[in-house]
Amino acid sequence: MRIAVLSGKGGTGKTLVSVNLAATAKMSIYIDCDVEEPNGYLFFKPEDVQEEAISVKIPKVDNELCNGCRKCIGFCKFNALAYIKDKLIVFDEVCHSCSGCVMLCPEKALSEKEKIIGRVQKGTSDQVAVYTGILNVGEASGIPVIKKLLVENKLKADKHTFIDCPPGSACTVIESIKDADYCILVAEPTLFGVHNLNMVYELVRLFGKQYGVILNKCLEEENPAEKFCLEKNIKILGRIPFDTELGTLNSNAEIAVRKSEKYLDMFSLLLEAVTREV
């Protein structure tokens, strides 16, 4: 069972939820697809970490062969090529690796080379297999890293798999939820929270996913996110109160369910609620 945990914005407790659910489920898999800001490994502190570099193919020019016809530049939709001072320049960061320029060059002046854009790490923490994708600073797109993370885990669908998605509803999120059996949306009790929840809510509906909401940081006061769920008839899987003990454990990158029975009970109930839905 593959469960994607998402939220319209970072900082709502997406990592808190996915890390603690994975730790509660014990023999499980945790995949951190938030490759721009991977945080899950800080909590799990995995051991026996193996690392693999992730690369994409980008064009390399042979200036001896290039005659400056600029055909490649005309083709590139991403403005990743320019002809400056009698030389073809490739702007690596914006190249989308479509290979079109290589295919088109009449002089065969372009070939492809590998460029490392990030890495994938796997390790274990107790019985949880922890996968982390890390995008290198300065790179534009984490999609190839996410793809790699998810392809690796396709085969092990029998275990509880928790996918910590990137924030937002952009292409990276879609990549992360594509094969998920269930989506957990984590929402904050603010006006921002509702706005952001609405976006991921529309996203999971667009993809025809099953979904439910976990309300995080619940205060005594009125909760606009809860109101939203009731209005739209969205399943509320559970509530996590705003509590300083949990806040402190979390900000120190401790896994709450491994530190206290109280939170283990709380997340066991949440896990049950989720499993019942799938």
Residues that bind ligand SF4 (CB under 6 A): 59, 61, 66-72, 75-76, 78, 80-81, 88, 90, 95-101, 105, 107, 109-110
Question: What is the identity of the amino acid at 69?
Answer: C
User: Taking CB within 5 to 8 Å according to partner kind, which of other proteins, ligand SF4, none is near residue 69?
Assistant: ligand SF4
Which residues, 6 or more positions from 188, have their beta carbon under 8 angstroms from its beta carbon? 11, 12, 13, 196, 216, 217, 225
Q: How far apart are CA 169 and CA 165, in angstroms?
A: 10
Which residues, 6 or more positions from 153, have their beta carbon under 8 angstroms from its beta carbon? 2, 29, 31, 131, 161
CB of 61 to other proteins, least distance (A): 18
User: Taking CB within 5 to 8 Å according to partner kind, which of ligand SF4, other proteins, none is near residue 20?
Assistant: none
Q: Which of 237, 278, 269 is nearest to 20 (CA)?
A: 269
User: Taking CB within 5 to 8 Å according to partner kind, which of other proteins, ligand SF4, none is near residue 71?
Assistant: ligand SF4
User: Taking CB within 5 to 8 Å according to partner kind, which of ligand SF4, other proteins, none is near residue 88?
Assistant: ligand SF4
- Applying CB under 8 A, which residues contact other proteins? 8-12, 15, 36-37, 39, 42-43, 75, 77-78, 93, 96-100, 103-104, 135, 137-143, 166-172, 174, 188-192, 195-196, 199, 202-203, 206, 219, 221-222, 224, 244, 247-248, 250-253
CB of 148 to ligand SF4, least distance (A): 19
Q: Which two tokens stand for residue 266?
A: 């709380």
DSSP letter assigned to residue 165 = P
Q: In which residue are the tokens 């900082």 written?
A: 11
Closer to other proteins at the Cβ: 78 or 276? 78
Closer to other proteins at the Cβ: 224 or 277? 224
Closer to other proteins at the Cβ: 207 or 269? 207
User: Taking CB within 5 to 8 Å according to partner kind, which of other proteins, ligand SF4, none is near residue 253?
Assistant: other proteins
Q: Which of 231, 273, 266 is nearest to 16 (CA)?
A: 266
Contact 174, 158 (CB under 8 A): no
Question: What is the identity of the amino acid at 102?
Answer: V
